[in-house]
Amino acid sequence: MQKHDQHTKTETSNGMKYVVGIDEVGRGALAGPVAVGAVLMPADLSWDDFENLKDSKKLSEKKREEWFEIIRTSDVLAFGVEMMGSEFIDKEGIVPACVCAAHKIITHFDVDIDEVNVLCDAGLSVPKEWNQESIVRGDEKEASIALASIVAKVTRDRYMREYAKRYSAYGFEKNKGYGTKAHRISIQEKGHIPGFHRISFLGNILAKSRGKTLANS
């Protein structure tokens, strides 16, 4: 972490000792879990203290991995990631899955609830007893949320690359479960993977596959 004069963004601490940023990745994917990341940091840190920090979508994979290691080895940052799988998403819905993961992730930190302000990217929340704010496009405005998006993205991407070793035909190492043209064609031709593809997201793709699954294709 270094001072970077090009940024003027400041962290919203509301007089608290710590800030926790929370963000999710994988919300719109056709396969795999949704991941919610959280990063706790001292409230006196701001965007200015993180050189070249951007939200995960604007960083290359290499840069995300570098930032992940900075976060992992930091003496002043703590982080956690929770993932909710496709079966939960199909049963409960993607929004409840994201909120459930956010509720779980806040328990990772051993801090006094009265000393923390939780900054959630819009659409996420933690239990109501926590001091919290919902911020639209928070990963572009708050350093803690940008860092949370990175740990969530790196953790989920690593998971998808490992899963790709079991099911190489779907290109998970590249598409990370999102609905690329090649991924959609693979589902149509080979069928979906039960328990991993999100049935509730497949719609017409599933109809075109005529109900095929990987097990019976």
Residue-wise pLDDT tens digits, 107-141: 989 999 999 999 999 999 999 999 999 999 999 99
**What does the alpha-carbon distance between residue 201 and residue 26 come to, in Å, rounded to a whole number?**
12
Q: Quick check: 108 and 102 in contact, CB under 8 A?
A: no
Q: How many domains does the chain have?
A: 2
The C-alpha torsion from 123 through 126 and 130 to 132, rounded to 10°, is: -20
Q: Are 59 and 154 members of one domain? A: yes
Q: Enumerate the known binding-site residues.
A: 23-24, 121
What is the per-residue pLDDT across 137-176, written as a single tens digit (0 to 9) for each?
A: 999 999 999 999 999 999 999 999 999 999 999 999 999 9
Q: Are 75 and 118 members of one domain? A: yes
Q: Are 44 and 132 members of one domain? A: yes
Q: Are 59 and 129 members of one domain? A: yes
Q: Enumerate the known binding-site residues for a divalent metal cation.
A: 23-24, 121
Q: Are 136 and 65 members of one domain? A: yes
What's the mean pLDDT in 80-86?
98
Establish if 12 belongs to a structural domain.
Answer: no
The enclosing domain of 66 has a CATH number of 3.30.420.10
pTM: 0.89
Establish if 11 belongs to a structural domain.
Answer: no
Residue 213 pLDDT class (50, 70, 90 cuts):
low
Establish if 60 belongs to a structural domain.
Answer: yes
Range of the domain at 154: 18-158
Strands lying side by side in the sheet with 78-84: 78-84, 34-42, 18-25, 116-121, 131-135
Establish if 6 belongs to a structural domain.
Answer: no
